[in-house]
Amino acid sequence: MITRKKFLRQTSALVAGSFLPLNFNRKITDRLNGKRITILYTNDTHARIDPFPENVRSFAGLGGIARRASLVKKVRTQEEHVLLLDGGDVFQGTPWFEVYGGRVDLELMTEMQYDAMVIGNHEFDRGLDGFAEAAQKAGFPILASNYITRNTPMNPFIQRQIVKEFDGFRIGIFGLGIEFNGIVDAKLHGSVSSHDPVTVARRGVESLREFHFCDYVICLSHLGFQYQNGRIDDITLAKMVPDIDLIIGGHTHTFLDRPFLQENPSGKTTIISQMGHSGVWVGRIDLDISGTNENPAFQSRYYVIDGKS
């Protein structure tokens, strides 16, 4: 494993200019001819700074944060409005986390100019002080609407929601962390408490729509895509909460090669997507904002981060 200092220097150079070859499968069509917003997203990257080794059984040679940085840079040169989001569990999984506790991941995500991430359960792996130490490297919002963090080391680094505006089109983004019971040890989350994600989501969407005048609402969710045990998941959330336009998920490591579409209580469609794990896929959704603000047309695809042309 190369040193942290050398890797940061090499990756910063990639962010600044040069590009690695990437597999740009599924070429974007010209169906969206007007103004658009491009949303790039990851989830459960799990400290996969380097690509997977070539000799492993699954995902051999895939991933790597330098390649992801190169992709993001390239898309930004092609598109005027780009959002870069993450569905949580940046921490845990490789020696990079064991040595640096997530600081390198958040520092490199800051270099890539991530717009926001939701906190995942593994962000608690080193307790509240460990999270706070690493979060000092995050130059972007970390979201969790349903966690109460008052009077804890986590509190200065957590936000409930943010609003981004592009050509007058307002996008509200809020985050939902997974319920702690059976997932996060009480010794790790300490006095941070988790509240019902459905109730919190309803209030959050209402706030973003009615008080912040958002045209589009994104939920960054670390609840998980789908369960059979009654735990709240992304599909259940979409069924129960009106007016969420897009859920970018995490936790269950689900590879969705196309978004799952779920009708919500407002009679509209909620788009649900998730990009597996370890940064081997990066998702992309293009929103057409040239017409009405109601149900903008979208185009979706994903990139396989394999270093090939």
| Plot region of 43 (φ>0 → left; ψ -120 to 50 → alpha; else → beta) | beta
d(Cα 43, Cα 32) in Å, to the nearest integer? 26
Say which range, 45-54, 57-66, 97-106, 292-301, has the weakest mean pLDDT.
292-301
Percent of the chain with pLDDT over 70: 88
- Classify strands 169-176 and 193-194 as parallel, antiparallel or unpaired: unpaired
pLDDT for residue 68 is more than 90: yes
Domain extents for the chain?
Answer: 34-304
pTM: 0.90
Is the model more confident about 8 or about 164?
164
Average pLDDT over residues 235-257: 98
CATH homologous superfamily of 34-304 equals: Metallo-dependent phosphatases (3.60.21.10)
The predicted-structure confidence for 96-132, as pLDDT tens digits, reads as follows: 999 999 999 999 999 999 999 999 999 999 999 999 9
- pLDDT at 14 (0 to 100): 45
What tens digit of pLDDT does each residue of 6-30 get? 545 554 444 433 333 333 333 433 4
Q: What is the pLDDT of residue 293?
A: 53
How many CA atoms are closer than 13 Å to the CA of 120, on its beta-carbon side? 27
